[in-house]
Amino acid sequence: MTVIKTPSSRSQTRRVLVAKVGLDGHDRGIKVVARALRDAGIEVVYLGLHNTPEEVVAAAIQEDVDAIGLSILSAAHLTLFKKVMELLKRAGVMDMTVFGGGIILDEDIVQLKKMGVKEVFTPGTSLGRIVRFVKGIKRSVKEN
């Protein structure tokens, strides 16, 4: 796990976990997105390749993030996102934003949004649009 920190304090900064889930080994895009988020003042926790949904959810809870961003190019997005959403619900985490990116068919995007995935970014999406989306995430009030 790599944490890309910004100089801002936690109370002012969005904190996002980004990860590759499943067997997909192509990580150039997610690294570009992670850097763009970091450069925009967002604290990024990058888990790297080949994570399970269980690892992603455990890390998101442990790292106290505001959102999870998943990158999937392996066509397993419906299965993997569903599992992440189920694990968050099982853990009682109902306020964490989940978004994703990858090569995902329009009809699958509709299904992902019905599962609770807030946004899906496909190839060609501008980095500015992704940054604006993440900056627009409402921060949950976390109890100490």
11-45 tens-digit pLDDT: 567 999 999 998 888 889 999 999 999 999 999 99
Which helix (H) or strand (E) is 33 found in, with range?
helix 28-39
Query: Which is more confidently placed, 55 or 9?
Result: 55
- Residue 118 is encoded by which pair of tokens? 């807030």
| Residue 10 contacts residue 104 (beta carbons within 8 Å) | no
Q: State mean pLDDT over 49-54.
A: 94
Residue 2: its pLDDT value, please? 57
Q: How far is CA 62 from the centre of its chain?
A: 15
Taken in order of first residue, the domains within the chain and their CATH numbers are 2-135 (3.40.50.280)
